[in-house]
């Protein structure tokens, strides 16, 4: 395929396989035509990932749902590759299978129920307004730096009880760890992991001396009270929440606002009736979701899936953004329509690992979008800013910077 680093891939040649465009520099600019061809040509595609791992990519909705609820596909890679693959960054629910998964998720689940999250509405609104007070009177702003990034970080930092002043460090560490699968910067990623671990270790010591009513204090007390979780798992769960809080909701707000600003009719609809915001957020998640291929599993045994022979240890990656544009599931899948009914998109995954933070992310998204529209009725993408640059990478889908005119 003809791809350049800033332009989308052109897939003109019909005899070239679409999957060849997957890991090229231009792919992130517009992955959807590539996915559409893959869903047609090879919906369960056999391929070699950039790190040399052999596996499969699933691009259709129905197959995606089936993989995500099939317990032959597992998360805990130590069962296949041995304990050498265990690290503090994988000692959590996202990288565990039952029964560990249930135990680890159960420890923090109470902190993220829709009811509890809803009780944070007023406070999150204050944070959003405070961030926008700082840009009031200006003619332009940077959506990511001024708003979409700090909002979820402040919220998750408060829930965990970690100092908000350290957000710049968390940003560097989590960007680095998330980018790890496609960067050439191995040693630096390792150093960032070490720094992050050392930071958490010092923080946990402090919390042990003076516990509060935050989530980290609760985890530490649970560990001290019995055998519910190990010290390594506290690191794993807290690091996961910090990373999830940094790398996803920011892109829900960013990608979502881009979709809205690029579709002025939809923008007008929401401006005229802010109560459409819940549906708008669901459509933003479906149309340009923040998670690219991070939803992966390992074939836990030799198995057959829809006529394909998979070997134990094969990587199985579910392309959620592709599933969410599947015309078999969604009418007019490439249409951005904030009034779409009953959209059962997969942006938060499916099955037992379905996103724990979904109620929080939805609430933050709603508040963020409606507050921006309310306070800046003339909001638009800055015309002189040039083409938006989508971050390359395997895990999250988002834009580095979104310059707005107010």
Residues that bind ligand HEM (CB under 6 A): 93-94, 105, 156, 240-241, 244-245, 248-249, 252, 289-291, 295, 347-349, 353, 355-357, 360-361
Report the SS3 class of residue 291: strand
CB nearer to ligand HEM: give 9 or 355. Answer: 355
Output the furthest CA–CA distance in the chain (Å, rounded).
65
Strands 315-318 and 54-58: parallel
CB nearer to ligand HEM: give 18 or 156. Answer: 156
Q: Give the nearest distance from C-beta 194 to ligand HEM in angstroms.
A: 23
CB nearer to ligand HEM: give 19 or 246. Answer: 246
Report the SS3 class of residue 20: helix
Q: Give the nearest distance from C-beta 207 to ligand HEM in angstroms.
A: 18
Q: Give the nearest distance from C-beta 6 to ligand HEM in angstroms.
A: 25
CB atoms within 10 A of CB 381: 15
- Residue 44 CA to residue 59 CA, distance in Å, equals 7
CB nearer to ligand HEM: give 43 or 357. Answer: 357
Please report, for residues 1, 16, 38, 122, 132, the alpha-carbon distance to residue 10 in angstroms, rounded to integers and kept in the order given. 6, 11, 14, 46, 39
- B/e letters for 32-67, b = 16+ CB within 10 Å, e = fewer, are bbbbbbbbeebbbbebebeeeeebbbbbbbebbbbb
- Partnered with residue 380 across adjacent β-strands are 405
CB nearer to ligand HEM: give 124 or 361. Answer: 361
Q: Give the nearest distance from C-beta 397 to ligand HEM in angstroms.
A: 9
Q: Give the nearest distance from C-beta 115 to ligand HEM in angstroms.
A: 16
- Residue 260 CA to residue 280 CA, distance in Å, equals 9
Q: Give the nearest distance from C-beta 14 to ligand HEM in angstroms.
A: 32
**Phi, psi for residue 213 in degrees, rounded to 5:** -110, 25
The residue of the chain with the least Cβ separation from ligand HEM equals 357
Q: Give the nearest distance from C-beta 91 to ligand HEM in angstroms.
A: 12
- Residue 314 CA to residue 406 CA, distance in Å, equals 49
Place of tokens 């040509």: 41
Residue count (the chain): 406
**Among candidates 27, 30, 139, 70, which has minimal Cα distance to 308?**
70
**150 touches 170 (CB < 8 A):** no
CB nearer to ligand HEM: give 27 or 298. Answer: 298
Strands 140-142 and 54-58: unpaired
Provide the 8-state DSSP code for 8: P
Q: Give the nearest distance from C-beta 93 to ligand HEM in angstroms.
A: 4
CB nearer to ligand HEM: give 11 or 347. Answer: 347
CB nearer to ligand HEM: give 37 or 340. Answer: 340
CB nearer to ligand HEM: give 266 or 296. Answer: 296
Q: Give the nearest distance from C-beta 248 to ligand HEM in angstroms.
A: 3
Q: Give the nearest distance from C-beta 163 to ligand HEM in angstroms.
A: 18
- Residue 219 CA to residue 47 CA, distance in Å, equals 40
CB nearer to ligand HEM: give 346 or 406. Answer: 346
CB nearer to ligand HEM: give 43 or 254. Answer: 254
**Among candidates 284, 288, 295, which has minimal Cα distance to 63?**
295
- Residue 200 CA to residue 119 CA, distance in Å, equals 28
**Phi, psi for residue 289 in degrees, rounded to 5:** -65, 155
Q: Give the nearest distance from C-beta 316 to ligand HEM in angstroms.
A: 11
């Amino acid at each position: 395929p003809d791809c350049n680093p800033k332009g989308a891939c052109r897939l003109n040649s019909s005899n070239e396989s679409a999957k060849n465009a997957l890991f090229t520099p231009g792919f992130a600019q517009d992955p959807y035509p590539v996915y559409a061809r893959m869903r047609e040509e090879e919906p369960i595609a056999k391929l070699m990932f950039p790190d040399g791992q052999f596996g499969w990519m699933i691009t259709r909705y129905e197959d995606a749902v089936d993989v995500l609820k099939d317990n032959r596909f597992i998360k805990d890679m130590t069962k296949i590759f041995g304990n050498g693959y265990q690290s503090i960054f994988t000692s959590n629910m996202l990288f565990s299978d039952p029964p560990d998964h249930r135990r680890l998720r159960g420890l923090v689940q109470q902190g993220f129920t829709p009811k509890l999250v809803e009780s944070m509405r007023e406070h999150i609104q204050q944070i959003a307004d405070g961030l926008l007070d700082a840009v009031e009177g200006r003619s332009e702003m940077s959506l990511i730096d001024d708003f979409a990034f700090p909002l979820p970080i402040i919220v998750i930092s408060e829930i965990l009880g970690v100092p908000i002043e350290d957000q710049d460090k968390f940003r560097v560490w989590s960007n680095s760890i998330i980018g790890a699968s496609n960067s050439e910067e191995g040693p630096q990623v390792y150093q960032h992991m070490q720094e992050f671990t050392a930071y958490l270790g010092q923080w946990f010591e402090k919390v042990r001396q003076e516990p509060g009513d935050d989530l980290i204090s609760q985890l530490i007390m649970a560990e001290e009270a019995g055998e519910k979780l190990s010290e390594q798992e506290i690191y794993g769960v807290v690091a996961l929440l910090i990373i999830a809080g940094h790398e996803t909701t920011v892109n829900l707000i960013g990608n979502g606002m881009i979709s809205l600003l690029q579709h002025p009719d939809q923008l007008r609809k929401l401006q005229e009736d802010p109560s459409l915001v819940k549906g708008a957020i669901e459509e933003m998640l479906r149309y340009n979701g923040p998670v690219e291929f991070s939803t992966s599993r390992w074939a836990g045994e030799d198995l057959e899936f829809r006529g394909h022979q998979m070997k134990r240890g094969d990587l199985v990656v579910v392309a959620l953004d592709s599933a969410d544009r599947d015309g078999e599931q969604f009418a007019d899948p490439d249409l951005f329509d904030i009034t779409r009914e009953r959209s059962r998109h997969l942006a938060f995954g499916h099955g037992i690992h379905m996103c724990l933070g979904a109620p929080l992310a939805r609430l933050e998204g709603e508040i963020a979008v409606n507050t921006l529209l309310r306070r800046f009725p003339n909001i638009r993408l800055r015309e002189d800013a040039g083409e938006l640059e989508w971050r390359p990478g395997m895990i999250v889908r988002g834009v580095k910077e979104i310059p707005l005119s107010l």
